[in-house]
Amino acid sequence: MKVTWFGSKTTKHFKIPAGTQIPPGLAVTKDHQNVQGAFHYTIAPKGDVPLPLFLQQLKTMNQRATLEL
């Protein structure tokens, strides 16, 4: 799975390796495929959570993510 940031006009992306454990409070949804054939995913909280908790859950996933240029 690749993760980018909004407004980016670059091919830089984050890759989250297969087998990465998704924290129970997060949902990952496959949104659409771009013209190069890559898919866009959204990572969001499953419900209302305090921002610090959401950020901590993202940090857990971030430990396995890599930046690819």
25-57: per-residue pLDDT in tens? Answer: 999 998 888 777 778 888 899 999 999 998 899
On average, the pLDDT of the chain sits at 79
Instruction: Classify the phi-psi angles of 44: left when phi > 0, otherwise alpha if psi is within -120 to 50, otherwise beta.
Output: beta
Give the pLDDT score at 69: 62
Give the pLDDT score at 46: 94
| Structural domain count of the chain | 1
Distance CA 9, CA 15 (A): 17
Distance CA 69, CA 53 (A): 29
Q: pTM here?
A: 0.67
Q: For strand 66-68 and strand 39-45, is the pairing parallel, antiparallel, or unpaired?
A: unpaired
pLDDT of residue 7 exceeding 60, the answer is no
